[in-house]
Chains A and B, each alone.
Chain A
């Protein structure tokens, strides 16, 4: 019963596993990659992983709150991406460099 249901029926757990995998991939990107742009993309990935869980929860619990939350997250993600990319661009213009190791030299 159990074995079949995993493959036949799509439950909340499927979404959560997907979300966890996406989140982990994103986090690995944040922790391991050096390129600022990739870093920002990884952060997006993490945020979207969270969004998936939100939507999944919303659907399975029959409440709209989760979906509302997703809009917020998307807004924040957009703002963050805008600011982050703007910073990345201006830093690239100034130093011709997008490796975040390089930014350690900026600390006071």
Chain B
């Protein structure tokens, strides 16, 4: 068997090599070669990820850590950062998701992008993204993680602006990068605080040094540090207030949205917090902020999702909302549940994005769901797999989303730092999710066709449907590894593999065990309630959009003001623009005009003018009249002499 150092090297370098190969021949428009190179590169990574994971399984639970350090990156004073990478319980899962889902999405892209002239460049970027994402999850210190963290942001920038000739798309890429940078700046500060508090940036050491006493002050080092890191996470993972870039990011090719803006990159924030859970857990104030922001984002994004007509925008807001759930989970100390939802969400949201890609492809680049409808009969495979994703996201048992979402909701209620209001927000979010997702299904696949006569929808080719089918399958079974105890007991002692797997690396909130195990009846009730709420909501949506297609318009009219607010996305973008961006530009212009040009330069010119003035006064004396000069000499001599003689 290959040793883990080599495997990690292969895991990382294979996509990088793919990037170089495709990067060098970027002018080529041969989608087969480009696609094959890129897909194989990620495929190799996937194989090594699996091998690494198997090695990890072989180790005893306490020692599940495969670490490697390739070289010393920075070493100044106390700062020692290696190009070191660690596969452990958490990153082990992440590399499987990234390379696994990544491979499928690469495969899908071969079909999706085959008509695009920049296909080689596209695959190069995609490989580069996988490379950076792997660095992010494997990095053994916060700084190494930050390398990937910024790297994925860069790839996201390049891929969102992939069709850069469209000004709006290029602007969307820029917006994504800059919004992320705001978060990154905070992330850097968070790193500094932790570094000067604990003297290291190594994640493993940091976790080991985590204080045992909970820090209750808002101004404590750990609280501030973790808050700063969380602000970083809101940038990358599109949470309030930095979520605005993600919906715009849909300007990129659809598989990119699936890979970067649903399955992997946007979950980096959640991953980071889980990674540092022993640190975060000692800062209850930060945790509270995370939970509240998460819940608020979950609801807010879901409401915006209700009114969108662009198939990808609906999914984008859904992603923001689902990420909110993950933050809600980690915020209440349910790190395992957060990771669990991260995984299942990667499956079903990647599936739905790819499904939407298949729809868009089949509809010849049409994204407006008002111009779809009845696609079920044209695209049976897409429809069926999308259906699986839909069932998973609205949380119908036994689909993957049910288990993860339910666990989050239950822990939001029952964890020591949980609260019934958090549960309620989660449940409201679930209801809204069920509604807009059903609406999406109904408007896209069901009911009467509203497709333009000129467009002939068709099912996509095999390279596109195979990934859909695989992800569909995962959306069903993906949740079965984390079956909650109550159901597990009921079904005959099925253990919660997920929880066992993560146990050694997840710190639990004190006293949480007692509550979890003693309130089985409450758990059943809440579980039932959430499924019921989701079902009712889904049925309502079905009724509104399929049974009575006109009814939605009537409701819209009835609640016009509310609808306007939601439909305009609460004017958040506009507010940012008129309150932050425009004033900033105006200030800059006036700084330039008033301070640089009119103050500093004018001042120096004033000094110069004074010199000039002095010069022009003295100039009179030097008029070229030799006799006058001689007289000056004479007068000078007389003055000097008389001065000397008088003394």
Contact = CB atoms under 8 A, between A and B. Distances in A.
B165 interface: no
Interface stretch (B111-119, B375-383, B621-629): B621-629
Nearest to A30: B630
Interface string A68-102: 00000000000000000000000000000000100
Interface string A22-62: 00000100111000000000000000000000000000000
A104 interface: yes
Interface in B610-647: 623-627, 630-631, 634
A104 to B, nearest CB: 5
B624 A27 contact: no
Interface string A4-32: 00000000000000000000000100111
Given A27-B634, A31-B631, A31-B634, A100 B624 contact: no
Q: Which of B625, B627, B630 has the most CB of A within 10 A?
A: B627
Interface in B112-131: none
A31 B626 CA distance: 9
A87 to B, nearest CB: 13
Interface residues of A, number: 8
A100 B626 contact: yes
Interface in B148-172: none
B254 to A, nearest CB: 77
B624 A107 contact: yes
Contacts of A103: 626
B625 A30 contact: no
Contacts of A32: 627
Contacts of A31: 627, 630-631, 634
B634 A100 contact: no
Given A27-B634, A31-B634, A104 B627 contact: no
Contacts of B634: 27, 31
A31 B623 CA distance: 15
B628 to A, nearest CB: 8
Contacts of A100: 626-627
B221 to A, nearest CB: 74
A104 B627 CA distance: 11
Contacts of B624: 104, 107
Nearest to A107: B624
Contacts of A27: 630, 634
A107 B624 CA distance: 7
Contacts of B631: 31
Contacts of B627: 30-32, 100
B619 to A, nearest CB: 13
A107 B623 CA distance: 10
B249 to A, nearest CB: 70
A62 B114 CA distance: 116
A10 to B, nearest CB: 24
Nearest to A28: B634
Given A30-B630, A31-B631, 14 more contacts: A27-B630, A27-B634, A30-B627, A31-B627, A31-B630, A31-B634, A32-B627, A100-B626, A100-B627, A103-B626, A104-B623, A104-B624, A104-B625, A107-B624
Interface of A: 27, 30-32, 100, 103-104, 107
Interface of B: 623-627, 630-631, 634
5 contacts: A30-B630, A31-B627, A100-B627, A104-B624, A104-B625
